[in-house]
Structures are given as C-alpha cells and as structure tokens.
C-alpha cells in the first residue's frame, strides 16, 4: 500500500502494536509522528527503525489525556511534515480488578487514557483534515469492548466507548473526505500479555478458534488497510483481529 507523501500520527507508538503500525506505515512511505508516555529509549529505537525504512520520523512525549499536550503533538507534527493525513489512536492502559474491589482512581485512569485520549486526539486532527478534505482515523478498540471480560469493567467500558465514538464521528465526517474506523484486537503477543501468568494465558488461548495468539503485525496490517486508498469507501466499521474470539 502506498502512503507516499502522507503523514501519520500514531499514539503509543514506541512499543507493541503501536510500533508495528508505525513500521507498517513507514514501509508504505508515510512520515510518522509517534507519541509515547515515558519510555524515550523505546521511542527513539522506533524512530531509528522507521528511518531505516527510508521514511521520516518524529517522537513526541505526550499524555493523550491532556488536551494541551495533544495540541502540541499535532502542532509539532504539522511543523515537521506540513500536514496530518492519518491518526491511529493506539495509546492505552489497563488497571484490572473485579468491580467490587476496583478503586475510582483505577476506573478514572483507564477511561482518561483510553477514551478521553482518543477523543482529544480526534478532536485535534479533525479541523486540519476537513480543511484538506482528506483524512483517515483508526481507533484501537478491543475484543473486550465487544464481549466484555471479568476483571476489566473499566477497560471494557473504555473500549466499547471507543466504538461508539468511532461510529458517531464517522457519520459527522463522511461527507468531508475523512473516514473513521476501529480495529478490535483479540489476544495479541505484546509486553502486556507476556506479563500474564501461564495458566491465564492458556485459558485465554483455548477460547481462540484459531488456537493461537495473534502478532502485533496482524493488527498493523489491518490498520494499514483501513487508512489506505483501497479502503476509501469504508467508514464507521469495526474490524476484529482476534482469530475468531468474538464470533
């Protein structure tokens, strides 16, 4: 897929799925601005990997739940590359626990990062995308947002909310040349899932019809398709990349 001349912002782009998305877009020729929460070393490693593919890259530290920092992210991207064509809202956190034991702080933190963050980033890029009459937005939801999961009331709420925002903004921007879609990953091999106990990993894996976890690149390929010209007539959709978990 050809992204030559396009500029992408990928939140949470230093590791895992975000890094895979950055590299996939760079392979297609896109300039990539990635934001990271705190791991500067990982962010710079991703920048070097992008540049090794012949694309230009920028790393910006940004708390996506802070509107002022998000505006800075977008402004720095435009300053470096003159435009923003693609937004991939990937940044997110978990604070798992049963509802009866979940603190308000843990609930609020997940909603702030996963739902408010996506809202703020979409709001920040909408105006420039409308002006140029072109844009592609992909939000990372989750299979948990489609079917729920015990111990993840906060995470499920945030990811279900992302789907609602995706469909609503898709309706607002459909006539403006801007598409808005979501990808809902299932059990993907990342740092987050690697920290799970082996018994928990095995239990989850048995619920996957394909019988194995996915790779970050599986998600990146889906994202790349949805931001490509080949997907120009697709908007307001949720694509599950989950090996069949949500069937």
CA dist 28 and 52 (Å) reads: 13
**Which of 36, 134, 155, 233 is labelled catalytic?**
155
Q: At what angle are helices 67-81 and 117-132 packed, to 10 degrees?
A: 40
What residues have CB less than 8 Å from 96, skipping those under 6 apart? 151, 152, 155
CA dist 51 and 135 (Å) reads: 23
155 as an active site residue: the answer is yes
And the tokens for 19?
A: 């890094």
Nearest to 92 by CA among 184, 164, 201: 184
And the tokens for 53?
A: 């593919």
Active-site residue list: 155
């Amino acid at each position: 897929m050809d992204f030559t001349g396009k500029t992408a912002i990928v939140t949470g782009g230093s590791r895992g799925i975000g890094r895979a998305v950055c590299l996939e877009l760079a392979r297609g020729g896109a300039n990539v601005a990635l934001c990271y929460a705190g791991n500067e070393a990982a962010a710079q490693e991703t920048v070097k990997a992008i540049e090794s593919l012949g694309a230009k890259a920028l790393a910006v530290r940004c708390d996506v739940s802070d509107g002022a920092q998000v505006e800075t992210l977008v402004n720095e991207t435009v300053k470096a590359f003159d435009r923003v064509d693609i937004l991939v809202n990937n940044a997110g956190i978990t604070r798992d626990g049963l509802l009866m034991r979940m603190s308000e702080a843990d609930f609020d933190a997940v909603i702030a990062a996963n739902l408010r963050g996506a809202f703020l980033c979409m709001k920040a890029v909408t105006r420039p995308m409308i002006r140029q009459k072109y844009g592609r937005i992909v939000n990372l939801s989750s299979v948990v947002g489609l079917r729920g999961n015990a111990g993840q009331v906060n995470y499920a709420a945030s990811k279900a909310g992302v789907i609602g925002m995706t469909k609503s903004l898709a309706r607002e921007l459909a006539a403006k040349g801007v598409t808005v879609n979501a990808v809902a990953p299932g059990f993907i091999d990342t740092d987050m899932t690697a920290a799970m106990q082996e018994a928990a990993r095995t239990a989850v894996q048995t619920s996957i019809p394909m019988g194995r976890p996915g790779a970050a690149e599986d998600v990146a390929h889906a994202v790349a398709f949805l931001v490509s010209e080949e997907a120009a007539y697709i908007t307001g959709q949720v694509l599950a990349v989950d090996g069949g978990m949500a069937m």
